[in-house]
Amino acid sequence: MRTVSKDNITQAFLNYCSQDTDPRLKFVLEKLVHHLHDFVRETDLTHDEWRKGLELLYAAGEISTPERNEFVLFSDVLGLSSLVDMVNSPEDGTPSSVLGPFHVLGAPEAAVGADLKGDNEGKTVVVGGRVLTPDGQPVVGAELEIWQTADNGLYSNQDAAQPEYNLRSHMNADDDGRYLFSTVRPAPYTVPDDGPVGELLRATGRHPWRPSHLHFIVTAPGFRSLVTEVFPSDDPYLDEDAVFGVREKLVMEYQERTSLDGLPDDLEIRDRLTLPYYVVDFDFVLARAET
Ligand code: BEZ
Ligand code: FE
């Protein structure tokens, strides 16, 4: 197309894509460019604003390392990561939520009932529940990856004072789909705000806090993998998560207990528990994998 105008430039882009472009790629690009072009037309974007946007992306590249991906963080604080999660979450399963940058592979195996708290400071929490099918049956062969912050709001890979795999584990649920562990109550924390994402947050009067949470990846043969996190109902940041990860169905309660009554026998920490402690009861529902 020779005479490109602001009204036909979107079509011109599409015309330039060859006939044998992968259909899904063409569809996604068509929508992306359509919205990008509309965005410029609707905002009358100035050169300075366009340049500022590109400078933010450049700065994101400069600060990114294999351990820190500022582009993902941009996606998180813009709500893009959570929207992709929600669009892809099956209706009949536990909702997914952001993975975040602090998951590491290779966490040690822990048996059902294991203690992750060890020498960690903080309130003791007994977390348990079942991994279920959408019709309430136990999922056989379920595995859980668990990670969280310590009482100081830091993950083990952010804090040289913590042992390498502190408050991280991999657990095989039992044949009844049951998982159980004791741990420490995690604390709210801030997403990294010393880069261009922080600049954007400050420019828009936003804070970088996330409500405290426990992260899980739940997998089982024949089921869709679930990356999610659960949040306590009494967290001060529950309604203002910097990365929009909270969903109604992911909110749990820390129930205070002042006696050992009703505690499962297979809880490793049982004989060392001090009162009060807190119980979290949370079931995961896995959607069946598409065949
Ligand atoms: C996290 O939950 O670990 C996290 C998620 C998004 C951005 C930063 C941290
Ligand atoms: Fe987290």
Q: Tens of pLDDT along 142-169?
A: 999 999 999 999 999 999 999 999 999 9
Residues 28 and 87 in one domain: no
Of 262, 265, 177, the residue nearest 279 (C-alpha): 262
For residue 136, is it within any domain?
Answer: yes
For residue 70, is it within any domain?
Answer: no
Q: What is the pLDDT of residue 291?
A: 75
Instruction: Evaluate: CB of 193 within 6 angstroms of ligand 1.
Output: no
Yes or no: say if 210 and 193 are a contact pair by the CB < 8 Å rule.
no
For residue 51, is it within any domain?
Answer: no
Mean predicted confidence (pLDDT) in 61-68 = 94
Per-residue pLDDT at 1 exceeds 80:
no
Per-residue pLDDT at 199 exceeds 90:
yes
d(CA 118, CA 168): 12
Residues 7 and 98 in one domain: no
Instruction: Evaluate: CB of 102 within 6 angstroms of ligand 1.
Output: yes
DSSP state of 6: T
Residues 19 and 104 in one domain: no
Nearest ligand to the CA atom of 201: 1
For residue 262, is it within any domain?
Answer: yes
Confidence of residue 44 (pLDDT cuts 50, 70, 90): very high
Residue 17 CA to ligand 2 center (angstroms) comes to 40
pLDDT averaged over every residue in the chain: 96
Q: What is the pLDDT of residue 60?
A: 98
For residue 90, is it within any domain?
Answer: yes
- Give the amino acid at 114: A
Yes or no: say if 183 and 176 are a contact pair by the CB < 8 Å rule.
no
- Token pair, residue 73, equals 């963080």
Residues 104 and 219 in one domain: yes
Backbone angles phi, psi at 3, to 5 degrees: -95, 85
Residues 29 and 101 in one domain: no
Yes or no: say if 211 and 235 are a contact pair by the CB < 8 Å rule.
yes
DSSP state of 48: H
**How much of the chain, in percent, has pLDDT values that exceed 70?**
99
SS3 state at 171: strand
Residue 26 domain boundaries:
1-45
Q: What would the pLDDT profile of 202-229 be if each residue is shown by its tens digit?
A: 999 999 999 999 999 999 999 999 999 9
Residues 161 and 263 in one domain: yes
Q: What angle do CA 18, 21, 26 make, to 5 degrees?
A: 105
Residues 159 and 241 in one domain: yes
For residue 52, is it within any domain?
Answer: no
Residues 156 and 280 in one domain: yes
d(CA 110, CA 223): 22
For residue 103, is it within any domain?
Answer: yes
d(CA 232, CA 64): 31
**Neighbouring residues of 108: CB distance < 8 A, sequence distance ≥ 6:** 165, 168, 169, 170
Residues 153 and 217 in one domain: yes
Number of domains comprising the chain: 2
Residues 41 and 179 in one domain: no
Q: What is the pLDDT of residue 290?
A: 84
Residue 148 CA to ligand 2 center (angstroms) comes to 6
Residues 135 and 279 in one domain: yes
For residue 263, is it within any domain?
Answer: yes
Q: Give the CA count within 13 Å in the CB-facing half-sphere of 193.
A: 18
DSSP state of 187: -
Per-residue pLDDT at 3 exceeds 90:
no
d(CA 190, CA 150): 13
Residues 155 and 211 in one domain: yes
Residue 100 CA to ligand 2 center (angstroms) comes to 6
Instruction: Evaluate: CB of 191 within 6 angstroms of ligand 1.
Output: yes
Cβ neighbours, 10 Å, residue 188: 18
Q: Which atom of ligand 1 is nearest to the CA of 191?
A: 8
Residue 89 CA to ligand 1 center (angstroms) comes to 19
